[in-house]
Every structure is written in structure tokens, then in C-alpha cells.
């Protein structure tokens, strides 16, 4: 129980201080590194699958889980835009180990447009 409270308080502090962006705050190219740092500090290796789901839901991120790959796929859309031609989104892959605990997190910027 104490561990859960500690992690919950850490999450709230992270959201407030470091800027893990929730639904009411926009992730942009300017604060992208802060967002990634915050997410990586919250979802460290060994965190259970249920905490990953709770965290992604709390951040109001669109995500899915592929059981066969033991991987969460999440997206932060429109973190950047160049005029109206190109948009940049942040793709997040959270891989789990055989015990359904976080193994690692990978980030990738995806550029779409004409």
C-alpha cells in the first residue's frame, strides 16, 4: 500500500512539476523532452502492466496493447506542425517482459503530410 501511495504521489508531482501533459495541457516540440523524461521516470523497468494502463489512461493517451508482442503502443498526436503541410506525432512503445512488467520504453517521431 505504501508503495502505491508513493508512486501515486510521484505521478502527481511529476505531472505538476515536470509537465507530463494531461488532456488539458498540450505536448509540443518545446516540452517533448520533458514529457518523455517524465514518462520514462514513471514507467521504469519492473512496473506492472496494470500501472502502465492506469498511467496511460490518466494521461488521456490513445493506446492499445498487443498481447502477442507484450507491447503497449501509444500516440501523442500533433506535437509539432510545419505550416499546414506536415504534422509530427510521438509514437510510444512500452515493451513488457515475460512477467508482464515494463522492460523498456521506445519513442519515435512520426512525420506525416504531403
| Tens digits of residue pLDDT in 6-22 | 555 555 545 444 445 54
Digit-coded pLDDT (tens) for 87-105: 999 999 999 999 999 999 9
Burial degree of 102 (CB within 10 A; 0-12, 13-18, 19+):
buried
Contact 53, 67 (CB under 8 A): no
- Which burial class, exposed, middle or buried, applies to 35 when counting CB atoms under 10 A from its CB (0-12, 13-18, 19+)? buried
Percent of the chain clearing pLDDT 70 (strictly above)? 77
At 2, the pLDDT band (50, 70, 90 cuts) reads low
pLDDT at 39 (0 to 100):
94
SS3 33: helix
- Find the DSSP H helices in the chain: 2-13, 32-42, 49-58
**Cβ distance 78 to 88 under 8 Å?**
yes
Distance of alpha carbon 14 from alpha carbon 99, whole angstroms: 26
Which has more pLDDT, 78 or 49?
49
Considering the entire predicted model, what is its pTM? 0.77
Residue ranges covered by each domain of the chain:
2-113
pLDDT at 62 over 60: yes
Amino acid at each position: 500500500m505504501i508503495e502505491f501511495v508513493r508512486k501515486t504521489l510521484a505521478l502527481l508531482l511529476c505531472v505538476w512539476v515536470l509537465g507530463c501533459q494531461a488532456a488539458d495541457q498540450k505536448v509540443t516540440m518545446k516540452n517533448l523532452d520533458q514529457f518523455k523524461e517524465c514518462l520514462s521516470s514513471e514507467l521504469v523497468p519492473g512496473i506492472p502492466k496494470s500501472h502502465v494502463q492506469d498511467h496511460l489512461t490518466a494521461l488521456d493517451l490513445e493506446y492499445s496493447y498487443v498481447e502477442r508482442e507484450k507491447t503497449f503502443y501509444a500516440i501523442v498526436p500533433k506535437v509539432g506542425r510545419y505550416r499546414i503541410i506536415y504534422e509530427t506525432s510521438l509514437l510510444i512503445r512500452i515493451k513488457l517482459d515475460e512477467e508482464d512488467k515494463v522492460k523498456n520504453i521506445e519513442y519515435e517521431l512520426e512525420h506525416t503530410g504531403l
